[in-house]
Structure 1
Amino acid sequence: MAQLFFRYGAMNSGKSIEIIKVAHNYEEQGKRVILLTSALDTREAPGMIESRIGLNRKAISIEPTANAFTIVKKAMTTNHQPVSCILVDEAQFLEKHHILELAQIVDELRIPVMAFGLKNDFQNHLFSGSKYLLLYADKLEEMKTICWFCEKKATMNLRLHNGQPVYEGEQVVMGGNESYYPVCRTHYNDPPLANQRKEDDNG
């Protein structure tokens, strides 16, 4: 039975590489997948899912006003092969209506949808897409990674600017390891960045 999945985790928890791996596993069995990603993610070329280890896949960009259900229906007509799964990267940037449209894909087209994204932003507020996935998804799964500064599980995303923690500002500011660290609650509130700079200087 088709279901809507939400797999969430902090930065560096392997969400994009997991999408690429899942797509590969389906295609290795001769099954078709459709990959989607938020158009708000401008770190790479538009419509590109790229992991930190260098693997990438082309995807269909979802603009804020676009209809995800219509996008998938149109993509299905380009090939007569049945679609086995829809994979969505950067799902936290989607709007409420996108999440309802993903649920519509599951319920009306009977195609499973697996959405991947962050749960909370750098201020520990829910992203819009994440909020509604938590409400509407049939299954939730946390993807775990460790804190940048210790061995605890990372549950938060620490934003940096010029090497200093930032706790105020716009919700969406694109960046990678130079701008965000996955951290535990302790090191979100008290990051040992002075020690980190010394290690970087000595390295």
Structure 2
Amino acid sequence: MSKLYFRYAAMNAGKSTALLQVAHNYEERGMRVLLFTAAHDDRAGHGVIASRLGLARQAATFGPDTAFTRAHLGPGLACLLIDEAQFLTPAQVRQLHRMAHVDDLPVICFGLRSDFRGEAFPGSAMLLTLADEVEEMKSICACARKATMNIRVDADGRRVQHGEQVVIGGNERYRAVCPSCFYSDDGGGAESAPGLFG
């Protein structure tokens, strides 16, 4: 029986790289996969999943109105892969869970668990609730501890603690940090060793 998987991590853990590797593994065996990424995440271009290692691939995009049903995805699909899964709506996560169990289609989602304030994204919260398998991918804080949180920084590298939940950006905007550094006044190790992240 197929499952809904959620593979989550802080920034810079290699989520997109892992997704592209899974796609390659399926396709190397002659199986069809479909990749999705968030429509508003255009850091590498619209509809592009890109890894910091230099790998990139075109993908379909999803927004809040996208319906994930077997009929919309076409025949012969072996696996559905979703990057930036934190931007899914709770209703979409339920559709994906249903697809895995009713339509017997494996769905593997990759994304962040929490935002720069340490609050859950609605899509991630629902994935943590419904996913049949949840896996934490590892990332490292500048202080050398395991990074499980994200902080947002401004153009001068100063920590930003207020603002909208979603502001698209990469290394110039976000840092992966451990909980100790997250709760320090200045973001701790994230600012003391910026070369590790930017």
Pair in the same fold by TM > 0.5: yes
| Aligned match of 2:179 | 185
The letter of the residue matching 2:176 is P
Any stretches of 5+ residues in structure 1 without a counterpart?
A: none
**Structure 1 or 2: larger helix share?**
1
Per the alignment, residue 132 of structure 1 pairs with: 126
RMSD: 1.7
Deviations, residues 172-194 of structure 1 (Å, cap 9, x unaligned): 01111111111001111232566
Match of residue 146, structure 2, among 147, 153, 159: 153
Matched, 1:144 2:138: yes
Q: Tell whether the 8 Å contact from 1:164 to 1:193 is kept in structure 2 after alignment.
A: no
Deviation at 1:195, TM superposition (A): 4.0
Q: Residues 2 and 195 (structure 1 numbering): CA distance in 2 closer, same or farther, change over 3 Å?
A: closer
Name stretches of at least 5 consecutive residues in structure 2 with no aligned partner.
Answer: none
Structure 2: how far apart are the matches of 1:108 and 1:195? 49
For the residues of structure 2 that align with 1:195 and 1:50, how far apart are their CA atoms? 27
Which residue identity does 2:44 align to in structure 1?
Answer: E
Structure 2 CA distance for aligned equivalents of residues 158 and 65 of structure 1? 29
Q: What is the aligned partner in structure 2 of residue 61 from structure 1? A: 61
Q: Structure 1 counterpart of 2:153, which letter?
A: L
**Contact 1:39 1:64 (C-alpha < 8 Å) held by counterparts:** no
Shift of 1:42: 2.3
Query: Moved runs in structure 1, 4+ residues, more than 3 A?
Result: 192-197
Question: 1:65: how far off?
Answer: 1.1
Contact map agreement 1:163 1:193 (CA 8 A) in 2: no
Native 8 Å contact 1:62 1:68 kept in 2:
no
Change (3 A) 1:35 1:193: closer
